Amino acid sequence: MGRSWVRPAGLRGLFAVLLMLAIVLGIASVGAGRVLAQSAPSAAAGPPGAGLAWGFNDSGQLGDGTTASSSTPVAVDMPAGTTITAVAAGRSYSLALTSAGTVLAWGLNDLGQLGDGTTTNSSIPVVVDVPSGTTITAVAAGGFHGLALASAGTVLAWGFNAAGQLGDETTTDSSTPVVVDVPSGTAVAAGRFHSLAIVPPTSTTTLQVSPPDPKPNQDVTLTATVTCTIDTPTGAITFRNNNTDLATVPLDSNNTATHTTRLPPGTHTLTAHYTSTNTCPSGQSESITISITAPDDPDLPITGPNLPTTIGTATLLIPTGAALVHLSRRHRPTHHPH
């Protein structure tokens, strides 16, 4: 039998956890857009950047250093100097994003949902072990797994993974963040056993030059191909040489555009610029630089390294020519006048 997606037996049958977290920004209330929880958002007041929590606390999910439930808000025991900018509540565990771009977690940790490399519960915040140098900009809490969005667009996940909710192509739980196999994201969200991310569309334009080393004024074929992650590319390609437009060609049914031209001697930097007419983003190919050398002109005087050879050859030919003239005179027939 496969792994069960239901909570382990020790917590089956429990009523829904009434855990609410609030970010206190020096105002009287906090909207639902700032508090993510598995119950209705609540309001709180207090010093800017502090964290308050209240409700069920059997696993330390209130983060106040105890496991005593509270019907009134208590202060989360944040590290000194920490400013909280966002919070999220999972099932018996909590997450917080700091102004420094780090993530804190506390509460139940039997499946690694605190992301600190252990499976030990904690009644005070611990640091989620995100990769070194990573700055987190958003967090989300699933039933038993956490998500984080990095400033570079990378999505990280940790915790319970029986349904593949960590998105790393496995169903193995992880007590430290793993990289989700998605393109660069802009937002994340988590359900009980699934995860979501917003990924902006991207397009790629590639350019090929044939032949790659053309001769002066030889036909050169430029071919551009566009790929897109969200739609079939439509629009046109503008081919450019040294920032001068050569031609604008519509994309065909194979998402390609072709233009044939001739290039004079010199250095040429060729690019293909995609202008979209649908949801695919416009873009530009990487540049291709080719150098075309002018051929030698046979009418120009001989100079350089070929000059000694040419002179030597001419020197040898002079005696040969003189000898031929002498022989021709010796064999000339004698003319007798009539």
- Tokens 């950047």 belong to which residue? 49
Taking CA atoms, 183 is separated from 21, 156, 186, 201, in Å, by 31, 12, 10, 9
The per-residue pLDDT for range 143-177, each reduced to its tens digit, is 999 999 999 999 999 999 999 999 999 999 999 99
How does residue 296 score in pLDDT terms, banded at 50, 70 and 90?
confident
The per-residue pLDDT for range 226-253, each reduced to its tens digit, is 999 889 999 999 999 998 999 999 999 9
**pTM beyond 0.75:** no
Question: In the prediction, which pLDDT does 329 show?
Answer: 57
Cα 87 from chain centre? 26
| CA–CA dist 338, 336 (Å, integer) | 6
Question: In the prediction, which pLDDT does 78 show?
Answer: 95
Question: In the prediction, which pLDDT does 183 show?
Answer: 83
Query: Domains along the chain?
Result: 9-198 (2.130.10.30), 203-292 (2.60.40.10)
| CA–CA dist 221, 235 (Å, integer) | 20
Contact by Cβ (8 Å): 292, 264 = yes
Give the residue with greater pLDDT, 13 vs 146.
146
Residue 296 CB contacts under 8 Å (≥ 6 apart), including other chains: none
Give mean pLDDT, residues 271-283. 97
How does residue 7 score in pLDDT terms, banded at 50, 70 and 90?
low
